[in-house]
Amino acid sequence: MTEGTPTAAETRRIAEVARDRVRFEEEALELSDQVFRVARRLVSSREEAEDLVQDTYGRAFRAWQQYQPGTNLRAWLLRILTNLNIDRGRKAQRSPDIQPLEEGDYFLYNQLASTMPDDNPDEEKVIERLSQNAVVEALAEVPHDFRDVVVLVDIGEFAYAEAAQILDIPVGTVMSRLHRGRRLLKKNLAEKAVV
Amino acid sequence: MGCGCGDCETMMQPYLDGMLSDEEVSEAKEHLERCPPCEERFRFEEHLRHFVRVATDEPMPDELRDRLAGLRSTPTA
């Protein structure tokens, strides 16, 4: 065996790997807008989100061979991102389960609709009583554990099973946190609604 | 607001998330047709979800896009 002179088969193999790698990087970069959109709402500042996305791509590009082609690349990237986010020292928050949300799912709607002169207001008009800032703030105030799920499903448009995989929690937990998280979001929104 | 039936509240979210079975979907649709308060609520939830998605959207900075491209193993052609 002579070193430095690879066989034709080896050369072909090396070229194939290089091509796969380029393809992987291109596909990953095409998803960067979507990855950023989710990252932006998982953390509180834009700078933090940018750093997190950059670190995610750095790690993804190094570990690209661990990605199984044909599986959901966006979920794979978000899995790296949420892990990095936790590694960065984000402490697990205690669930605010002690605080009851007796108002139920109808709370925001009732709150918004009750302050309108019309007895039977149009849904869109009701929602117009919320400002963009109110939504951003209301979401930021939802505790991490619940917000992660709301962000992945409502903003990232991931299915329950994908969100479960990304966060490494059971699907049932995704559903219960989602339910709770959305209620908390609506409760926060109701408090910020323009009256 | 609402028809007071607990099922609606538990089914509303999975319905909006597209997580119900075909059978459950037709059940839900049937109910919404018969129950104006639920229908109204359903539309509100639909609009709200859309509103949250749009209101929280912040475009990725071009500078970050460049930084990410710079992380590639091979320089871009």
Dihedral sign computed on CA atoms, order A60, A62, A65, A69: positive
In whole angstroms, what is the distance from residue A134 CA to residue A164 CA?
28
- End-of-domain residue from the set A24, A54, A87: A87
**What CA–CA distance (Å, rounded) separates A169 from A43?**
20
Q: For A46-63, write each residue's pLDDT tens digit.
A: 999 999 999 999 999 999
Per-residue pLDDT of A108-146, as tens digits, reads 777 777 766 666 666 667 677 788 888 999 999 999 999
Query: Quick check: A135 and B19 CB within 8 A?
Result: no
ipTM of the complex: 0.83
**How many residues are present in chain B?**
77
pLDDT > 90? residue A163 = yes
The domain that holds A82 is classified in CATH as 1.10.1740.10
Q: How much is the average pLDDT of A30-52? A: 95
Closest approach of B43 to chain A, Cα-based (Å): 7
From the list B20, B58, B25, the residue with the least C-alpha distance to A37 is B58
Q: Which residues of B touch A41 (CB under 8 A)?
A: 56
Q: Is A170 part of any domain?
A: yes
Q: Is residue A2 part of a domain?
A: no
Whether the CB-CB separation of A37 and A156 falls below 8 Å is answered with: yes
DSSP, residue by residue, A118-160: SSS--HHHHHTTS-HHHHHHHHHTS-HHHHHHHIIIIIS---H
Percent of chain A with pLDDT over 70: 82
Query: Which CATH number goes with the domain that contains A166?
Result: 1.10.10.10
Per-residue model confidence (pLDDT) at position B19: 86
Say which of B9, B56, B64 has its CB closest to residue A139: B56
**Chain B residues close to A29, C-beta within 8 Å:** 68-69, 72
Given A55, A87, A119, the domain boundary residue is A87
Give me A188's structure tokens.
């926060």
| Per-residue pLDDT tens listing for chain B (77 residues) | 446 666 677 788 888 888 889 999 999 899 889 988 888 888 888 888 999 999 999 999 999 999 999 999 876 54
- In one letter, which amino acid is A11? T
Nearest CB partner across the interface for A57, out of B13, B17, B68: B68
Residues A128, A83, single domain; the answer is: no
Domain membership flag for residue A40? yes
Chain A residues with CB inside 8 Å of B68's CB? Answer: 29, 32, 53-54, 57
A95 pLDDT exceeds 50? no
Does pLDDT of A185 surpass 80?
Answer: yes
Query: 3-state class of A194 per DSSP?
Result: coil
Considering the domain architecture, whether residues A104 and A187 belong to the same structural domain is answered as: yes
Q: How far apart are CA A51 and CA A64, in angstroms?
A: 19
Q: What is the pLDDT of residue B73?
A: 85
| A109 shares a domain with A69 | no
- Higher pLDDT pick, A53 / A1: A53
Q: CB–CB of A184/A146 below 8 Å? A: yes
Q: Whole-model pTM?
A: 0.83
Verify that A142 and A177 share a domain, yes or no: yes
| Contacts A–B by Cβ distance under 8 A | 95
Lookup: tokens for A174: 């995704």
Give me chain A's average pLDDT, please. 86
Domain range list for chain B: 6-69
Q: What is the DSSP letter of B61?
A: P
A98, pLDDT greater than 50: no
Supply the range of the domain harboring residue A33: 8-87
CB atoms A135 and B51 under 8 Å: yes
